[in-house]
């Protein structure tokens, strides 16, 4: 299959080479870094619950993508052919494409949140362009992108079809039960990739991949620890804030929204860059624990600590959360 796709990718690279800067800009709209700028903006400045849902879709899609990559162990085009130009270094496996999968999940869910016909068309075009950019840039096979789109779309469909039921069950759970569920799911975010890693401890990177790709470590646990930390911090922070105080009124104010976003991002950057410069960055157990801690603190900041700061400096309002009435028989 890959041998059939390689000549097509080479042709596409030659045709669209002059537009490479444009494709790099488009692919950034499917990058996890961009989503981590987009999701907090929705949470702080538009609708906290919508921002939380988008964050859940993003983090779960990212976790599942990394998990599937470790199972499939599929190369990227520039790992297997010197005729494909490498436009960016990636040391994770290729199948399924994370950009294609996350864009289908995040932008697909965003289209559902907006619930406007124009949004469906615009975001569908964006999803296509992000996936196509990955092929033109030579970092993914066509099959990587197609599978990414399919899985991302399935995630949106599954969550949308069960959202009401899930919401009702979660609203009926106690505070401690919710925290326990978050702890269990966080453990699975780490344990499942770790199990795959241990079961494949004898697997070796093919020499021909290393010759073309350079230094790569596609079986590392960094992605799993990042998503687990964000998942734990964001969800636990939201549950704690809702239990203690309520929900952030995200649509409150005009200039206050801009201030919330700026201050919020400063906090994210301080935790990301500040702790990143202090904590060790290697494959040791201490380094892995500190990576998990670092991203958990970022999640806490986004969903819990920043709303408390916004209220304290009078640029945000937190209102008590009123649980919906249960329809269960009394």
Q: Report the C-alpha gap between 94 and 5 in whole angstroms.
A: 14
- pLDDT tens figures, 288-312: 899 999 999 999 999 999 999 999 9
Residue carrying structure tokens 């911090």: 233
Q: Which helix (H) or strand (E) holds 27?
A: helix 20-28
Quote the pLDDT of residue 328. 37
Sequence-ordered list of residues with C-beta below 8 angstroms from that of 213, at least 6 positions apart, any chain: 75, 76, 78, 79, 86, 89, 91
Quote the pLDDT of residue 326. 43
Quote the pLDDT of residue 324. 55
How far from chain centre, in Å, is Cα 314? 31
**Angle 196-202-205 from CA coordinates, rounded to 5°:** 90
* Residue 164 CB burial class (10 angstroms; 0-12, 13-18, ≥19): exposed
State which residues of the chain have pLDDT below 50.
Answer: 326-330
Quote the pLDDT of residue 330. 35
Sequence-ordered list of residues with C-beta below 8 angstroms from that of 170, at least 6 positions apart, any chain: 178
Quote the pLDDT of residue 277. 85
Q: Report the C-alpha gap between 255 and 260 in whole angstroms.
A: 9
């Amino acid at each position: 299959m890959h041998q059939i796709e390689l000549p097509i990718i080479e042709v596409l690279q030659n045709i669209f080479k002059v537009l490479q800067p444009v494709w790099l800009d488009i692919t950034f709209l499917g990058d996890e870094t961009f989503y981590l700028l987009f999701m907090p903006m929705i949470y702080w400045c538009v609708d906290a619950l919508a921002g939380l849902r988008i964050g859940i879709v993003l983090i779960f899609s990212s976790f599942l993508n990394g998990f599937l990559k470790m199972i499939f162990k599929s190369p990227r085009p520039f790992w297997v052919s010197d005729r494909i130009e490498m436009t960016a270094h990636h040391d994770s496996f290729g199948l399924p494409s994370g950009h294609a999968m996350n864009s289908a999940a995040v932008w697909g869910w965003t289209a559902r949140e907006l619930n406007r016909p124009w949004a469906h068309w615009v975001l569908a075009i964006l999803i296509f362009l992000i996936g196509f950019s990955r092929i033109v840039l030579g970092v993914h096979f066509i099959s990587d992108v197609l599978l990414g789109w399919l899985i991302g779309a399935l995630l949106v469909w599954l969550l949308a079809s069960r959202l009401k039921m899930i919401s009702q069950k979660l609203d009926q759970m106690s505070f401690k039960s919710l925290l326990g569920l978050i702890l269990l799911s966080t453990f699975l975010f780490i344990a499942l990739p770790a199990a795959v890693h241990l079961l494949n401890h004898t697997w070796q990177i093919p020499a021909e991949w290393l010759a073309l790709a350079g230094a790569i470590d596609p079986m590392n646990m960094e992605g799993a620890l990042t998503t687990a930390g964000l998942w734990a911090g964001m969800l636990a922070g939201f549950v704690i804030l809702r239990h203690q105080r309520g929900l952030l009124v995200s649509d409150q104010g005009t200039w206050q929204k801009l201030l919330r976003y700026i201050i919020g991002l400063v906090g994210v950057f301080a935790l990301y860059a500040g702790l990143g410069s202090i904590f060790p960055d290697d494959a040791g157990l201490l380094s892995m624990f500190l990576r998990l801690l670092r991203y958990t603190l970022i999640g806490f900041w986004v969903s819990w600590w920043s709303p408390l700061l916004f209220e304290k400096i009078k640029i945000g309002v937190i209102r008590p959360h009123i649980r919906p009435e249960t329809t269960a028989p009394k």
